[in-house]
Structure 1
Amino acid sequence: YNAIQAIIQMEEKEPMIVQAYIQIVLARCIGKMELVEKSCVGSDDLIYRTVSYVSGNFRKKFSLEEMAHDLGVSKYVLSRVFSKTFHRNFNQYLNDARLSYACTRLVNSGDTILDICLDSGFDSQRTFNRVFKERYRINPSEYRKLKR
């Protein structure tokens, strides 16, 4: 509880300090959890497979239709999973995954913004800048300066 309170009360979130607090919370929780073999953890569950698919492929170009085909479901079923489970559509969810990866790269690498945006799965820097600014209300270079 104290670690979570400390994170909430931090005026400026330092990633290393937040990570340390989260590790404390996880260390306390792990002892209370029952370990389950991975093969038993919802590997056939569509939500689990959806998250895994996006996590493993967000840096590539793919569509809802291609993903649905690969998962063996209709695009309509998959679309409902995104809206009901994640409260966003496929493109929003995919862009969130790409932006999260891009933010980490912006802060932790010296790579150019163009390289980061293309490596994150965006088609162009123009699209990346637009989506980034919609989400964070600043452009990628301002974000990089602010977080460093």
Structure 2
Amino acid sequence: MSGALVPTKASLEKGVQKVEEVTFVSYKPKKKSERVQENQQNEESDTNYFNIKKAKNEMIKFALSDLEGKEKRNAMMQLAIKLGAKPPRRKFRNYKSLIEERKKEKAEEETKEYLRKIGKNSIGESIAKTNLAKKNKKKFKKSVDILDIYGKVKKAVEK
């Protein structure tokens, strides 16, 4: 009775209908050997040219293998940033101390600007005197180089 239709009131009124059998054929993927052959052909065509980016990356990794400790960590971090990682956040600094530092820097800049305007360097010496001393040293400097003599041409005027 496994393959036969069970008679019910409804089936008796409508009459017996034949049951359709539906078979499903699943998609058969390509064999692995065909895929492997296609991949090998692609790799052979790729090996014909030299990839500069990969070579550069390999050189950087080789250089990193020589480093140790903090230097290696910093270099790895720089490489990661270069490849697209986010750089680390800055360390926390107290806002009041930051403002004080900026005020000091601004004051130093103002004093340097003031000294430059009056013609003195950061120590307080006159700029004109230091420049004059440099010029005098150049005048009295003797030529030691042999090529200096041959580099100058003197025109002789014929009369």
Considering the TM-score relative to the shorter chain, is it more than 0.5?
A: no
Tell me the TM-score range normalised by the shorter chain.
Answer: under 0.3
Q: What's the TM-score, normalizing by structure 1?
A: 0.20
Q: What's the TM-score, normalizing by structure 2?
A: 0.19
Larger Rg belongs to: 2
